[in-house]
Structure 1
Amino acid sequence: MVDRYFSVDRDFWDCFETRLAEFDADGAMDDAAVLLSSYGSDDWRDSANHDYQYELQQIAEGLSSGLRRHFADWVRGLPIPDRAAIRAPLRIDPGALFLSFNYTPTLERLYGVPRDRILYIHGCASDPTEALILGHGWERAPQERFDREVQDEDSDMRILEGNSILDDYFDATFKPTAKVIEAHLGCFERCSSVGHVKVMGHSLGVADEPYIEEIMDRVDLRTTRWTV
């Protein structure tokens, strides 16, 4: 299904979250359109009132909640090596503050960083009950939504309901950075005393820009040193 509704190239998984916004919604509608039986046709069945929407729902959920579930299972299955097996471990100060975009407890287990020094901004895989956050950063304008179509007496309700399902996909795969920041304001406020910010192993993608901007708002940009 991923290959059908996304352009999968060599960089796809490196830019996975960004690519979630590139879902081929038109292709999904075309595939589901074969189920749009004409009203009054000889082979009409009552299920035809919902077949189109059901097909779109299966596609949208498979690529949103379904893909997120598979991603969480994959992350939670990643082995964390013993420190002795690492040839060149990173120089990590366990007393520093960490904003971790890595879902795994590597900092704790491999480098001995106390949990209270780490903010797992998108969730920690070591907690099997915690939802892991991932998503794109495309916040669509009203005119970019599928449900912008005006309903009138000639509208096909099946198509209108299908449009809402597609909008739900983009909403469900949008990374709610503003809400995440609000939920962890106390942690970001601790950054005010930071004099050196190190960015390690982060793609600096568009979806995560608000976190970087929040840190920049908290630190003293005149004196804080940045290493990227």
Structure 2
Amino acid sequence: MASRQVHLVRHGEVYNPDHVLYGRLPEFHLSQLGRRMAQAAADELTSRERPVAALIASPLIRAQESAAPHAALFKLDLRTDPRIIEPSNHFEGKVMAKAVKNPVNWPWLINPARPSWGEPYRSIVARVTAAMTDAFALPRLTEDEPGDVIMVSHQLPIWVTHLSLSGERLMHDPRQRRCDLSSITTFEQNAAGVIHEVGYSDPAAALLPGAIDVGAV
């Protein structure tokens, strides 16, 4: 009997000419390059020739737009799950390179282990893993084929979930995250209900050199 896989897909490049930390701010759409990245991720999952039972995305517009090529290729309706949204962040709307130099903001940077500037890492992990657990429990396509679930989310939720499920510490350097734009991190669940990572791919790698906004914050 086939095993269901859950694919956490990061959104494509965002149009962000002012280089602000957009976080949960509305109306940050994909750039034209970001749309090509999203298509690359959808093409990659299609090439695996695995049936897909459901498509779920964060409510933010960049995730919804990144899910659109998957919806078209797999002929699926898009569901929205707020549990896989970007974390809240005190610095939303600010340019980080400038904000960190302002003493007014320093108290928000005092505890990178939590982190002090936004939603605690453990809270992010809890809601994302709960959403994944529900995804693994979705109705099967057939008795012999459960069908995979695609979940379009954001870099930090995907990365800290990876760290947690790998038994690694959650505090990290954002510049060292292995979670590129439109990357795919794949998970399975064993008979005991334990979720474990089984793969990572970077279908938009050839497009990354042209990206202006990589979104690592």
- TM-score range (shorter-chain normalised) is 0.3 to 0.5
> Normalising by the residue count of structure 1, what TM-score does the alignment of the two structures yield?
0.32
Higher relative contact order (CA 8 A, sep 6+): 2
Give 1 or 2: higher helix fraction. Answer: 1
